[in-house]
Chains A and B, each alone.
Chain A
């Protein structure tokens, strides 16, 4: 599988590493800072917001791999079944990466995509837990939380997305390559 990264894709390894690093920070921030805020109605899923933004900037490959790795770490740090958030985050990263071209067209697209990814991701987590027979909430609650997560995601995206964009440009600039 590693020949995928060989020749022209050595660049990719660095973006994946950077993406995973960002997501790991987000995982800690999520449980230690965001969860403590006790936001009304539900929760902001910082990890999903960052993952969707990264995938939107870097494409499906980076999105899928970094989502998988970050999800796996999140699983390892939790008490639920291993691989369940790895699966969801991998799929989200891949799906969001597929629409990366559309993101350059309008400012609204990243907002909508990141918000949508938060909704879908939250629903995905809930679906996974109920498939595995550990449902923590009913369908209606899950839907409500998903919508709330989407709203919070739309609120923070304007702050997070430009930061990541700049970070990604700098990473690309270091390599002496313009743009992505």
Chain B
């Protein structure tokens, strides 16, 4: 039983035909999280959210539980107490770290006057490992919609590809299908940042061939209907094409894909809610680009020059500019 029979051949041929049909149909109709896909997305999203909630603390404390000394009562008791304390410590670590990340995100969002929905990454990639996406635990019910910009404390993460009620799939900036309008600091020259070169490289194309892109130039998002302006993207590491009608350069993104945890979805450019903490006036988070950029909030949002950039936000500013040293 279970050998290569005529019957099993029949089955596999049928399955292959089904797979090819699906590929053909789906390739032509485009992908969105509706129908069966939406159902699977929200079902799996719920499970993934639960799994990451459980796994995250366990993974960090598993070492504290494997204590060898379990033979004597006293030692046992002490070991247990020790394990408990270590677990508490590890939990505190997690909480502190999350708190720090949230605070850094908050500072960046405040500087950009973005209204941000914070979320945690609950799944990375897909089964095949070929998708550069992450799933986050915020969805339609939290105000997340498709095509919104996603960032973390370091800069641009990607854009929302699809949403369900409580989860959303974020297409990372390094996905081959991702294309995000970008500009160099201190200029208004439009370009685009595309992925497809692996997780730590983006390709930046400037549409104006007369402009010289240089190593070390920094990029922020250009902004359009869906994307907010001024989110730091990365830094040019290599100019690859200097001829032709456009120029391309390799960009090292500020955000490292492997360590994504707390992210924020930008759901509103102007401060929609009065309670929002969007007081500092600088819409461009990268310090040096601030004066010349004067970004174009499409709605002519109040760029009230309160000049209230207190010394408080400097840690985050340091964080956003920090990769300058890494280049």
Residues in A lying within 8 Å of B, measured CB to CB: 1, 4, 8, 27-33, 35-36, 38, 43, 45, 47, 58-62, 64-65, 68, 70-88, 90-91, 94, 97-98, 100-101, 122, 125-126, 128-129, 132, 134-137, 141, 145, 180
Residues of B within 8 A of A1 (CB): 11, 14
Contact indicator B41/A77 (Cβ below 8 Å):
yes
Residues of A within 8 A of B14 (CB): 1
Contact indicator B127/A90 (Cβ below 8 Å):
no
Chain B nearest CB: distance from A114 CB in Å? 17
Contact indicator A32/B128 (Cβ below 8 Å):
no
Chain B nearest CB: distance from A119 CB in Å? 13
Residues of B within 8 A of A86 (CB): 15, 18-19, 22
CA distance in complex: A141, B175 (Å)? 15
Contact indicator A82/B26 (Cβ below 8 Å):
yes
Contact indicator B130/A129 (Cβ below 8 Å):
yes
CA distance in complex: A72, B18 (Å)? 10
Chain A nearest CB: distance from B289 CB in Å? 31
Residues of B within 8 A of A47 (CB): 127
Chain B nearest CB: distance from A66 CB in Å? 11
Interface size range on B against A: 35 or more
CA distance in complex: A91, B26 (Å)? 20
CA distance in complex: A83, B124 (Å)? 20
Residues in B lying within 8 Å of A, measured CB to CB: 1-5, 7-8, 10-12, 14-16, 18-23, 25-27, 31, 36-37, 40-41, 44, 47-48, 51-52, 55, 59, 122-133, 135, 161-162, 169, 171, 175-177, 196, 198, 258-259
**Given known A-B contacts A61-B7, A61-B11, A85 and B127 have beta carbons under 8 A apart:** yes
Residues of A within 8 A of B175 (CB): 136
Contact indicator B55/A32 (Cβ below 8 Å):
yes
CA distance in complex: A47, B125 (Å)? 13
Residues of A within 8 A of B5 (CB): 61
5 more contacts with CB within 8 A, not counting A31-B124, A32-B122, A73-B40, are: A31-B123, A65-B11, A70-B127, A75-B127, A98-B4
Contact indicator A76/B37 (Cβ below 8 Å):
yes
Contact indicator B123/A78 (Cβ below 8 Å):
no
CA distance in complex: A122, B128 (Å)? 7
Chain A nearest CB: distance from B152 CB in Å? 16
Residue of B nearest to A98 (CB): B4
Residues of B within 8 A of A78 (CB): 126-128, 131, 133
Contact indicator B19/A43 (Cβ below 8 Å):
no
Residues of A within 8 A of B22 (CB): 72, 75, 82-83, 86
Contact indicator A125/B129 (Cβ below 8 Å):
yes
**Given known A-B contacts A32-B51, A62-B2, A135-B176, A74 and B171 have beta carbons under 8 A apart:** no
Chain A nearest CB: distance from B240 CB in Å? 15
Contact indicator B128/A83 (Cβ below 8 Å):
no
CA distance in complex: A81, B171 (Å)? 14
Residue in contact with A79 in the complex, picked from B23, B25, B126, CB distance below 8 Å: B126
Chain A nearest CB: distance from B16 CB in Å? 7
Residues of B within 8 A of A74 (CB): 126-128
**Given known A-B contacts A76-B40, A83-B20, A136-B175, A32 and B126 have beta carbons under 8 A apart:** no
